[in-house]
Amino acid sequence: MSRKARERLSRRENNVERRDKMLIHDFSADRATMEEVFDKSTLMVIYNLMNAGVIDELHGVVSAGKEARVYWGKTKEGKELAVKIYLTSSADFKKGMQKYIEGDFRFKSVKRDTRSLIFTWAQKEFRNLEQAAKAKVRVPKPVIVKNNVLIMEFIGENGESAPSLKEQSPDNPEKVYKAMLIYMERLYRKGDLVHGDLSEYNIMLWKGQPVMFDMSQSVPTSHPLAASLLRRDLANVNRFFSRLGVKVVPVEDVYKKVVGKDV
């Protein structure tokens, strides 16, 4: 066998080994769930990302919801990644997502079929994370998005994700509350975004600092729902921290500070 033929065979074997590792390593879900997540189209995206060197390993489920699964991944250098896969077979949240897409100037020409909406939803979260990170809001930094697969920074260590505020209350809630007010203001003024679904369920606590996540529904400040969503975010944050004994700032006062004008 020639040297080139041996190299081609070696590359093919490495690809098969990677795929086997991806499909069997650490998965605890049953076969039906795996088939729901890893349809042929999604598998091809994952394979292409692995062949491109974006991902080297894909391990078990970190979190699971109705619209997506998040897996723990690694680069060849050992850097940890969060691999979020939106379920292309799920139409349950189709109606729910439309109100966040309609009115968003960044996504004007979106087809109404479920697959197109889900691909847009993934793109939307990637864009939102990019804008938030540029505004110096602590979020998982996005790496790449392709179809229904979004890869971003893993918040946590050794495959164990950082706890949400719901799971672990901060040791210094007043400090974290003040940080959240700063982040919401930066997100609005510098990132041109409103989170839209902010609560203790989608704020992580990592190394003593809050980290916003789950930003697919976030909307630009020009969106028709922006004002009401911002007030809801502020009310949710105030409610949580007031339960921890923090003297919170009234919602309308914080709202005026965030948007930077009298209302």
Catalytic residues, by residue number, are: 197, 214
Question: Which residues lie closer than 8 Å to 225 by C-beta, 6 or more apart?
Answer: 99, 100, 103, 196, 219
Question: Which residues lie closer than 8 Å to 23 by C-beta, 6 or more apart?
Answer: 34, 38
The span from the first CA to the last CA of the chain, in angstroms, equals 77
Residues 187, 193: Cα–Cα separation, whole Å: 5
Strand partners, 21: none
Tokens 């004008």 belong to: 261
Question: Which residues lie closer than 8 Å to 40 by C-beta, 6 or more apart?
Answer: none
Strand partners, 83: 71, 151
Residues 21, 162: Cα–Cα separation, whole Å: 25
- Contact at 8 Å (CB) between 216 and 196? no
Sign of the C-alpha dihedral computed for residues 117, 234, 201 and 172 taken in this order:
positive
